[in-house]
Structure 1
Amino acid sequence: MRKRKYIVLIIYDVVDNKTRSRLVKCLERYGVRVQKSAFEALLTQAQCARLAHDSSRIIDESVDSLRIYTLDDILNIYTWGIGERKEQDCIIL
């Protein structure tokens, strides 16, 4: 039986260049860069959990931001993030 995979979108804003380079190398193990600060991947739930764990160990939570969006289907979107989230954020899919 195949494990279900989800489209995962990873968006980040990292202040330090060295930290950003380390994060990019980490994210490249999971997916492909689709924009300067955005990656896309096709992952199982376990892989997504490992991605969140690995990437959160790299960034500085006091100044950096990391968002992981797991797209299940049109109605079920799961998010995980580090850094301040502004209330006016709007997600359009």
Structure 2
Amino acid sequence: MELLLTYDVDTTTPEGRRRLRRVAKLCEGHGIRVQKSVFEIVTDDKSLLQLTYGLEDLIDTETDSIRIYRLPHAGTADVHTLGVASTHPHRDDLVL
């Protein structure tokens, strides 16, 4: 499944800034950052549950917000960009 994940973490405190870094790091392990607080993610049900539970453990539910949108199949392939934005291949072979 293809997802768009966005987050808004309250960074008015040192704890909030730490949460922001931890949320970003967790998301980087699951998808591609396309904007500062936006990730495109291609995943399966198991990894989505792991990501969701991990995020629930990190955020402050009183001040932070995370939104996960399920995209239609191949939704990340049909993206229109403006400015410096670029598209990222999600299903191409990965060379390490």
- Same fold (TM > 0.5): yes
TM-score by length of 1: 0.68
Higher relative contact order (Cα pairs below 8 Å, separated by 6+ residues): 2
Q: CA deviation at 1:65?
A: 0.3
SS of 1:57's equivalent? Answer: helix
Letter in 2 for 1:21: R
Conserved? CA contact 1:52–1:68, under 8 Å: no
Structure 2 gap segments, 5+ residues each: 11-15, 74-96
SS of 1:60's equivalent? Answer: coil
Percent pairwise identity: 35
Letter in 1 for 2:5: I
- Aligned pairs (5 A) from 1:25-40: 25-40=25-40
Q: CA deviation at 1:72?
A: 4.2
Conserved? CA contact 1:8–1:40, under 8 Å: yes
Q: 1:72 to 1:50 in 2, by over 3 A?
A: farther
Q: Following the alignment from structure 2 to structure 1, what is the Cα–Cα distance between the partners of residues 57 and 40?
A: 20
TM-score by length of 2: 0.66
Q: CA deviation at 1:47?
A: 1.0
More helix, by proportion: 2
Q: CA deviation at 1:68?
A: 1.1
Cα root mean square deviation, aligned: 1.1
2:8 maps to 1:9: no
Q: Following the alignment from structure 1 to structure 2, what is the Cα–Cα distance between the partners of residues 72 and 36?
A: 23
Q: Following the alignment from structure 1 to structure 2, what is the Cα–Cα distance between the partners of residues 49 and 31?
A: 14
